Amino acid sequence: MNNSHQKDGLHSQLTDQFGRKISYLRLSVTDRCDLRCRYCMAEDMVFLPKHDVLSLEEMYTLSRAFIDRGVRRIRLTGGEPLVRKNILWLVKALGQEIENGRLDEVTLTTNGTQLPLLAQPLYDAGVRRINVSLDTLDPEQFEAISRRDKLQTVLDGITAAKAAGIKVKINTVAMKHFNEDEIPELVNWATNNNNDITLIETMPLGDVSDARENNYLPLTDVKTKLDQAFNLTPTLYRTGGPARYFEVGNTGARLGLITPLTNNFCDGCNRVRVTCTGRIYMCLGQDDHVDLRAALRSNDPEILLGQALDKAMGLKPRGHDFAMSNGRMIGKVNRHMSQTGG
């Protein structure tokens, strides 16, 4: 990058129209997955043709463009990031950016099925913290919700991650008629194993087989019950993400609550999401996006990517529109979470 580019502001901190600084990128590396969680995907999802998906080299170039503009943390997600072939190549490349002081963290959100094999190589590549999604500890319930019989593999994966030295946070989607009664046990299990745990309200993202309202569980109710069981103390701990955190009794573990429907959290939003086809979405709950792939594959990727990112900043909305209204979930978007990158 020469000086004239810098004068043009191509290296300036990404800042949206409301003055929020974007320091966190969630990069979806694939739309594919080895599970089919009912709230996330239909059983017969049609996946993208491979030629539409960015190569890992393109994802690295894109990541560096974000790092040049002030992004300090990158979370790889999907689909299931660890089913992307050669994913360790990208993790290692980003790990080098940490070593060079240009990035603070590379992390992942994963369903955990590949961790028995990949936990140690991930640690070696520079990963120190991951989120593992786990909605139940009951094998039959696990199969019912994910349509696959893989609970033990996930539990082995969590054990492997911790043995490798990676801190694990559990992500649990809270669902009525499914894990509502099991949530205290999940919190107990997580804290006994020295894992933080975050509960998430279901969001209206894409069509799935069940009406989302049927399983919607407001975390306001769950928190009241958990407070009685565990004595939750509010903390000021924030990761820059949407979760609000509580200390669980005197276990030293934290419980996070992500409440898109009962308590909008958008004011301090510092993140953007890029899909595996190179679309940047400024908000999980809005459809506005900019195509970064065209810029990336152009004759002048550096300039055009810079311009595309500036355009994207102008489109970042104040927040999502998810809400409950008269028993209906509103603010729906048509993309599944696995397409935008969770």
Stretch that binds ligand SF4, among 17-25, 73-81, 241-249, 305-313 (CB under 6 A): 73-81
With binding defined as CB under 6 A, does residue 167 bind ligand SF4? no
Min dist CB 133 to ligand SF4, Å, is 6
For residue 286, how many other CB atoms are within 10 A of its CB? 17
Look up residue 124 and give its two tokens.
């070696």
- Give burial (CB, 10 Å; 0-12/13-18/19+) of 184: middle
> Would you say 261 or 313 has its CB closer to ligand SAM?
261
With binding defined as CB under 6 A, does residue 157 bind ligand SF4? no
How far is residue 339's CA from residue 332's CA, in Å, rounded to a whole number? 15
Encoded one letter per residue, x for contact with ligand SF4 by CB under 6 A and - for no contact, window 40-59 reads xx------------------
Per partner kind, with CB cut-offs from 5 to 8 A, the member of ligand SF4, ligand SAM, none near residue 171 is ligand SAM
| # binding residues, ligand SF4 (CB under 6 A) | 12
Per DSSP, 292 falls in state H
> Would you say 175 or 290 has its CB closer to ligand SF4?
175
Min dist CB 110 to ligand SF4, Å, is 8
With binding defined as CB under 6 A, does residue 111 bind ligand SF4? yes
Report the number of secondary-structure helices (H) and strands (E) in the chain: 12, 14
How far is residue 25's CA from residue 103's CA, in Å, rounded to a whole number? 11
Cα 291–chain centre separation: 20
Per DSSP, 180 falls in state G
Per partner kind, with CB cut-offs from 5 to 8 A, the member of ligand SAM, ligand SF4, none near residue 219 is none
**Which one among 27, 37, 283, 308 touches ligand SF4, defined by CB under 6 A?**
37
With binding defined as CB under 6 A, does residue 78 bind ligand SF4? yes
Min dist CB 338 to ligand SF4, Å, is 4
Per DSSP, 226 falls in state H
Look up residue 195 and give its two tokens.
């894992």
Torsion over CA of 109, 111, 115 and 120, rounded to 10 degrees? Answer: 10
Per partner kind, with CB cut-offs from 5 to 8 A, the member of ligand SAM, ligand SF4, none near residue 77 is ligand SAM
Q: Is 224 helix (H, G, I), strand (E, B) or coil?
A: helix
Per partner kind, with CB cut-offs from 5 to 8 A, the member of ligand SF4, ligand SAM, none near residue 203 is ligand SAM
How far is residue 199's CA from residue 170's CA, in Å, rounded to a whole number? 8
- The answer to whether the CB of 274 falls within 8 A of the CB of 26 is yes
**Which one among 35, 151, 253, 269 touches ligand SF4, defined by CB under 6 A?**
35
Per partner kind, with CB cut-offs from 5 to 8 A, the member of ligand SAM, ligand SF4, none near residue 205 is ligand SAM
> Would you say 156 or 310 has its CB closer to ligand SF4?
156
Per partner kind, with CB cut-offs from 5 to 8 A, the member of ligand SF4, ligand SAM, none near residue 247 is none
| Contacts to ligand SAM by CB under 6 A | 33, 39-40, 77-78, 80, 109-111, 133, 171, 173, 200, 202-203, 205, 337-338, 342
Per partner kind, with CB cut-offs from 5 to 8 A, the member of ligand SF4, ligand SAM, none near residue 36 is ligand SF4
How far is residue 335's CA from residue 342's CA, in Å, rounded to a whole number? 11
Across the beta sheet with 232-234, what order do the strands follow? Answer: 232-234, 244-248, 254-258, 196-201, 167-174, 129-133, 105-110, 73-77, 24-28, 271-274, 279-281, 289-291
Per partner kind, with CB cut-offs from 5 to 8 A, the member of ligand SF4, ligand SAM, none near residue 198 is none
How far is residue 130's CA from residue 105's CA, in Å, rounded to a whole number? 11
Residues of this chain that interact with ligand SF4 (CB under 6 A) are 33, 35-37, 40-41, 78-80, 111, 133, 338
